[in-house]
Chain A
Amino acid sequence: MQLSQFVHDKHHVQKEGKKDRRFQNRLVIILFLLPALVLFLLFVIYPIFRSVYYSMYDWKGFGPAVDYVGLGNYKKIFGDEVFIKSIKNVLLIIILSLGLQLPMALILAVLVGRDLPGRSFFRTVFFLPYVLSEVNTGIMWMLLYNADPERGFFNAILVSLGLQPVAWLADMNVVIYAVFITLTWKYFGFHMLLYLTGLQNIPREIEEAARIDGANAFQNFFHITLPLLGSTIKTSVYMSVLGSIQQFVLIWIMTRGGPVNASETMATYMYRFGFVRFQLGYGAAVAIIMFLICMIFSLFYQALTRKPDYLSGL
């Protein structure tokens, strides 16, 4: 009798303890998620819905929004030449980034490779621009792009070569390329860093085996290195495209989207309407369009690039 009572009690205590533990653990989950969730819902998720609401109003920011226009703002945006220009500019930046900036980063990464003496020096140098602020980068490059050949470094070089100076940031046909050069200077190091890490994960033996089998450097690069870098390249393309879509600070500092909207991007367009002209409803619609573009791109890209199995080990 006594013994069974004892066993029963012990069992009971253990059960209580377990329940306590389970309650405590659940509490930990809730408390751990709470701060992030509050911040995230309040400042990231809720603003999306708030913007959808405002995007249907013609609202200048004073008092409540009352002029309901339905999808009017969206129609106006897609009818605005400047917005179309900003999309074209973003597309141009994307094409140039994928066509020039990333291949250049890849070539440099392959050149630095795994065991070139001085590897870490070059890595440090090429990555340096990435940590400088966009404001400082923009101002630095404005000095270089100064149209006066007496003052601007690039024009001084052109003139000393006997060429005509170029009004880099003031020429409607040149400005977007000038901005792209600055973007490349700032961001190629980041992509190179990704490739360097990716290269390091490729087993040395594979390349050596190919070399022994008689593959030359080019064959080795195109048939071994490139396919095995697949997932790294995928990431870097994704980040480059998403980065291009939201390009703002450098352009705002260097050109304000000008001259005559020649370097406008979607983000500068949104900023102009939202914070300069205070057409908040219209700006909200631009924000929603940009968000949808980012989201659709992300979902499609992830679906398209789901990697084949033989590459997933790397």
Chain B
Amino acid sequence: MRKTPQRLVVYIFLILASIMIFIPIVILLFGSVKTTGQMYSHPYSIPNPPYWGNLVQILRTPSFWNMLKNSLIVMMATTIGTVCVCSLVAFVFARLQFRGKNFFSNLFTVGLMFPINVAILPVYFVLRQIEQIGIPMIDTLWGVILVQIAFQLSGNIMILKGFFTAVPSELQDAAYMDGCSNFDFFWRIMLPLVKPSLTAVGSLVMIASWNDLLVPLVILNSNHLWTLPLGTMQFQGQYGQDLALISAFVALSAIPTIVFYFFAEKQIISGLTAGAVKG
């Protein structure tokens, strides 16, 4: 009973904070269904009546679908690549003994101190160098994917290593007793057990790749290869004055993320907290 007024204050506080979170998103969504004129005369009111023209216009542009396609390709390839490559390494670090293990495991932590925002120019040098020996990297989706995977390694190896270590070692002993090889143990026993962790890591990588601007910005030149964030940035540069059209474009590129978040919230959160709390 004594708790009720206290609770009320807590709720008022939390609801105010939630409103602050929603304001930018709601104003954007409202703006996406306004005419340019409405956007200027009533920028933050409820659109009445809603105007779907801008959304329809963008959805009718082939280049929007092309960006969506590029983003999807990059996201899927980066995610699959990262999850596969990282789980192999995490398994080796968590479960096998060999000479040089400490060295390699420390080597990968260098990546945590050299995040992509710092590394982008150095990486660009190397991409140009690879290009010079005849392997196309700049202005290809492959270049974007490989760089994204490379900079996802350190963090995700750490997260997955935690999950692999948590599997009880009795299981490993029993498996080896029964004649399992390292590969069998990884493939038949470990992978099925850590599947939820793999989806957690996968959904984190999906978001990071989908939202990434910097790597595509530096690597891609041709319009037909642009990903959504890159296209959004260019679109804003081009139509900066037409706030309603910009809002519609941003809304369309943000909605997939929001929908994905509502479906995969549990996985995203478990991946993040595992990484951070263990780190």
A contacts, CB < 8 Å to B: 21, 24-26, 28-29, 32-33, 35-37, 39-40, 42-48, 50-51, 54, 108, 111-112, 116, 118, 122-129, 131-137, 139-141, 143-144, 146, 150-153, 156, 185, 189-190, 193-194, 197-198, 201, 231-232, 235-236, 239, 242, 245-249, 253, 267, 270-271, 274-275, 280, 283-284, 286-287, 290-291, 294-295, 298
Contact = CB atoms under 8 A, between A and B. Distances in A.
Contacts of B125: 47, 50-51, 54, 280, 284
Contacts of A231: 277
Contacts of A283: 121
Interface in B83-117: 84-86, 88-89, 91-92, 96, 98, 104, 107-108, 110-115, 117
Interface string B256-278: 01101110010011001100110
A101 B91 CA distance: 36
A24 B182 contact: yes
B150 interface: yes
A300 B257 CA distance: 37
Given A45-B107, A185-B20, A185-B24, A135 B213 contact: yes
Given A50-B129, A156-B43, 13 more contacts: A32-B88, A39-B153, A40-B150, A44-B150, A45-B110, A47-B122, A48-B119, A132-B25, A133-B253, A136-B257, A143-B247, A153-B44, A287-B118
Nearest to A266: B118
Interface of B (DSSP majority class): helix
Contact of A153 (B23, B150, B207): B23
Contact of B43 (A25, A134, A151, A189): A151
B88 A35 contact: yes
Interface residues of B, number: 90
17 contacts: A36-B86, A40-B108, A42-B150, A47-B125, A50-B125, A50-B129, A51-B121, A118-B11, A136-B229, A143-B24, A150-B40, A151-B43, A151-B243, A232-B277, A236-B276, A249-B214, A287-B118
B88 A242 contact: no
Contacts of B108: 36, 40
Contact of B121 (A156, A232, A284): A284
Interface in B13-53: 13-14, 17-18, 20-25, 27-28, 31, 39-40, 43-44
Contacts of A39: 85, 146, 149-150, 153
B181 A143 contact: no
A248 B86 contact: no
A274 to B, nearest CB: 4
B214 A126 contact: no
Contact of B117 (A137, A156, A198, A246): A246
A267 B254 CA distance: 25
A21 B261 CA distance: 45
Given A29-B98, A50-B129, A124-B265, A111 B14 contact: yes
Interface string B66-79: 00000000000000
A270 B149 CA distance: 23
B118 A194 contact: no
Interface of B: 7, 10-11, 13-14, 17-18, 20-25, 27-28, 31, 39-40, 43-44, 84-86, 88-89, 91-92, 96, 98, 104, 107-108, 110-115, 117-126, 129, 146-147, 149-151, 153-154, 157, 181-183, 186, 207, 210-211, 213-214, 218, 229, 232-233, 236, 243, 246-247, 250, 253-254, 257-258, 260-262, 265, 268-269, 272-273, 276-277, 279
A274 B120 CA distance: 9
Contact of B18 (A126, A143, A146, A247): A126
Nearest to A298: B113
Contact of A136 (B22, B121, B254): B254
Nearest to A113: B10
Interface of A (DSSP majority class): helix
Given A246-B115, A267-B117, A274-B124, A25 B273 contact: no
A156 B44 contact: yes
A193 B273 CA distance: 7
Contacts of A280: 121, 125
Contact of A133 (B21, B126, B146, B229): B229
Nearest to A190: B272
Given A35-B85, A136-B254, A198 B277 contact: yes
Contacts of B207: 131
B122 A51 contact: yes
B118 A133 contact: no
A314 B210 CA distance: 34
Interchain residue pairs A-B with the least CB separation, the first 7: A47-B122, A133-B211, A43-B150, A246-B117, A32-B88, A51-B122, A274-B121
Contacts of A135: 211, 213, 229, 232-233
